[in-house]
Amino acid sequence: MLDADKLFAGSIPENYDRYMVPLIFEPFAADLARRAAQLSPRAVLETAAGTGVVTRALASALSPDARYAVTDLNQAMLDYAATRQTANGRITWRQADAMALPFEDRAFDMVICQFGAMFFPDRVSGYREARRVLKPGGHFLFNVWDRIEENVFANDVTNALATIFPDDPPRFLARTPHGYHDKARILRDLEEAGFARVTIDTKAEQSRAASPRIPAVAYCQGTVLRTEILARDAGKLEAATDHAASVIAERHGSGEVSAKIQAHVITALA
């Protein structure tokens, strides 16, 4: 992963929440919130919360006396998440790096993280930090994307951009969001960090949009892929987005479109 892969700034948070969240994140957020609520945690820490799609799904499902700390490395994403969340006295918002959490040892029953582990510069260290703040017997619940070939729109967009920039194709999606999909590696990393009783559940969903342009805009302008396109040619963002939309239309039709998305859902015991 490149350092730039962590910079969700500028107009990215708004486009991310407007386009990416309903396109790919909402179904997995609902799944993660359901799994978390079934464990009835009283103290929850969310890392890499992004624009708060899991927060919105989980907050109302927690017990009235539960406390919920929501964090993200990117202040812009966290600020946007707070504006989208109904006022809730149980929730505290705090900018925090999942690699160096500003919380005491054994402070939480659960650490939850939606599609954030792929961005950890040292995943074993990040997992150790999650384990440090968990009470004995606490749960680390998170998900990561499966390989890009199992996530059709992301793969379509990546391949489309390779024809626009053949000498230096933007590879953010394949490199980072879809670059940590090997289940044996995930298991090894968690065991090295000291976790036990690890389960990995591979789950498929459908990504749906009203038109081919929506997934094109979502990926090209609502992720760090935007930064990569601009770095190659600042005048080609719209042209690249249009081309990605045309490729999706060729493959999936010009009206409502749908395609497979797939992720691994991991539960580990501290």
How would you write 167-187 as a 3-class SS string?
A: CCCCCHHHHCCCCCCCHHHHH
- Asked if 143 and 264 count as a contact pair (C-beta separation under 8 A), the reply is yes
23 half-sphere exposure, CB direction, 13 A CA radius: 26
Beta bridge partners of 143: 114, 265
In 40-105, beta strands by DSSP E: 43-47, 67-72, 91-95
- Asked if 263 and 28 count as a contact pair (C-beta separation under 8 A), the reply is yes
- Residue 116's nearest CA partner among 54, 63, 58, 60 is 54
Residue 206 has a pLDDT of: 97
Show pLDDT as tens, one digit a residue, over the chain (270 residues).
434 333 434 446 777 788 889 999 999 999 999 999 999 999 999 999 999 999 999 999 999 999 999 999 989 889 989 999 988 889 999 999 999 999 999 999 999 999 999 999 999 999 999 999 999 999 999 999 999 999 999 999 999 999 999 999 999 999 999 999 999 999 999 999 999 999 999 999 999 999 999 999 999 998 889 999 999 999 999 999 999 999 999 999 999 999 999 999 999 999
* CA gap 119, 97 in Å, rounded: 11
* CA gap 114, 106 in Å, rounded: 21
Residue 168 has a pLDDT of: 96
Residue 12 has a pLDDT of: 62
135 half-sphere exposure, CB direction, 13 A CA radius: 10
Residue 10 has a pLDDT of: 41
Q: pTM of the full predicted structure?
A: 0.92
198 half-sphere exposure, CB direction, 13 A CA radius: 21
Domain ranges (residues) in the chain: 3-269
Looking at residue 215, its amino acid is P
* CA gap 44, 94 in Å, rounded: 13
Q: How many helices (H) and strands (E) does the chain have?
A: 11, 7
Q: Name every residue whose Cβ is closer than 8 Å to that of residue 70 and which is 6 or more positions away in sequence.
A: 46, 49, 52, 55, 78, 81, 91, 92, 93, 94
* CA gap 201, 204 in Å, rounded: 10
3-269 carries CATH number 3.40.50.720: no
Please, is 150 exposed, middle or buried when counting C-beta atoms within 10 Å of its C-beta (0-12, 13-18, 19+)?
middle
- Asked if 94 and 74 count as a contact pair (C-beta separation under 8 A), the reply is no
Beta bridge partners of 33: none
Cβ-based neighbour number of residue 206 at 10 Å: 11
